[in-house]
Amino acid sequence: MTWKDEIIHISSIDIEDHTFRITTEENIEGLSGSIKNAGLINSPIVIRKKSGYTVISGFRRIRSAVNLGWTNISARTIESDADRFECAKLAITDNSLQRQLNLIEISRCYKMLSGLCKEKDLPATASQLGLPDNSDLSGKIIRLCDLPEPLQQYILSGSVSMVMALELVKPEYNGSGIQFAEIFDNLKLSLNKQREFLTLSYEIAAREGISVLELINGVDFQNILSDEDSDRNRKTHKIRQYLKSRRFPAIMKAEDNFRRNLKKLALTGGIKLIPPADFEGNTFIISMEFKTTSEFDELTSCLNRLINDPVLKEIVSKNSSDS
């Protein structure tokens, strides 16, 4: 592909035509300052159209020139009959040589290429341009640039992973994806916690015949989020307990009863009483930790005391009857 170095009127460039746009960065203050002090080192690349030019690469450089009050700009111009596929590859190459592309920018690259080449040729083309060539991965990445803008921003900030972002737009979540992403961002939840919150919310909504949005916009849920006396770790714990209590009310009730009775037992520090998983079944486990025989003797005395403790009998009998 050939081009000419020309001085063109900035007003002749259609900066609203984003056909070849890849970059997600909107801030131009730093770039404008650099161009003002050092000049335009790398000329933008544009292609002629019936009236004026379309940008292939250099959107931010052109906006910076406009911001600086320039009337003309040095550009590499390509004739209008140039192959659009080659133009797309040129845009990707020019951007990727300047920096490492983020996920949304890679998604835009895939989207651009997919409209200009056969699906079977996409992996090879992507590989030539330094893009991931795994077909399963590219199939997910290509969808990212079509997600709602707020979700894209949460991906870029690292608050939401690609996998979670694609999960959040599934129809079963009734358009609550952006709101969940905001919650994940505010609470700085790990991926496992995000999955747990999302799964519990969906199961509660299905169980109670309400929408997920109704659940997370409910008074109880919102009161926890807006509690100024709780830090994000405390809020996370409260929301988790709230969701679990609505999803598994019987288990949470049993857990609360067990916790209260466990305090009454006043176990010696080295002894732990472990209930059945999810309080299903009636097998309890007692574990002991000791370093000396005297500590062992003390733990044994505590165990002997427990044999006739009515609280322990209540714990065991209560769980047996519930099972």
Residue 117 banded pLDDT, cuts 50, 70, 90: confident
CA proximity to 281, closest of 222, 237, 227, 323: 323
Number of H helices, E strands in the chain: 16, 7
- 292 phi and psi, to 5 degrees? -130, 165
Tell me 42's DSSP state: S
Does residue 320 carry a pLDDT above 70?
no
Contacts of 132 (CB under 8 A, 6+ apart): 106, 126, 138, 141
Report which residue type is found at 82: A
Least confident stretch, 16-25, 71-80, 84-93, 298-307: 298-307
The pLDDT of 138-161, averaged and rounded, is: 94
3-state helix, strand, coil in the chain (%, to 5): 60, 10, 30
- The CATH class given to the 1-99 domain equals alpha beta
Taking CA atoms, 29 is separated from 56, 61, 68, 89, in Å, by 21, 11, 10, 28
pTM of the model: 0.77
Residues 259-291: tens digit of each pLDDT: 888 888 888 888 999 988 877 778 899 999 999
Does residue 321 carry a pLDDT above 70?
no
Does residue 307 carry a pLDDT above 70?
yes
Residues 192-211: tens digit of each pLDDT: 999 999 999 999 999 999 99
What are the boundaries of each domain within the chain? 1-99, 103-146, 148-247, 259-322
